Chains A and B, each alone.
Chain A
């Protein structure tokens, strides 16, 4: 079993749609959780940290479920500019981030 798993997609949605991605992790000792956005042939950019209480940043909401070992990202009112690959990352004891393979989102007009 992979340490961090994501549905690769692609998720094809129209503008204005709400879309949700899930990410599961295998190590229950994982301590910190993040969502990154990566555009084609560009570096990952930190989108959000994910907290147990859930957190929201504009149209983006991230949640953590420690009992079931998954994190989620919800995007409301999708824009064309949201088209990208979304990577979840898990920080275990130590320092390295463990990334999933990413979920591809394509928003069309």
Chain B
């Protein structure tokens, strides 16, 4: 019930292409869905987040699409750049609790 499943495990995209990472959850009580970006040797950093009252959120080249009925959400990176090469984690939590559940992570490589 607490799991968040993330796919794919790894992704290779050409520069300028679209990167898509998918996550699925079971617990309908989750109400906050962040995406974290992690570069080698660094801690994760928040990239973008969404709450289930909207179906899409866009910040620059990064977009979260949220499908409440399917219990799925995804990260789209438009015009992918080599500097986007990193590990991406989706996560889910229930507001005002302390728990944050992460997906398994996706290693993205953007080829020049």
Q: Are the chains A and B members of one assembly?
A: no
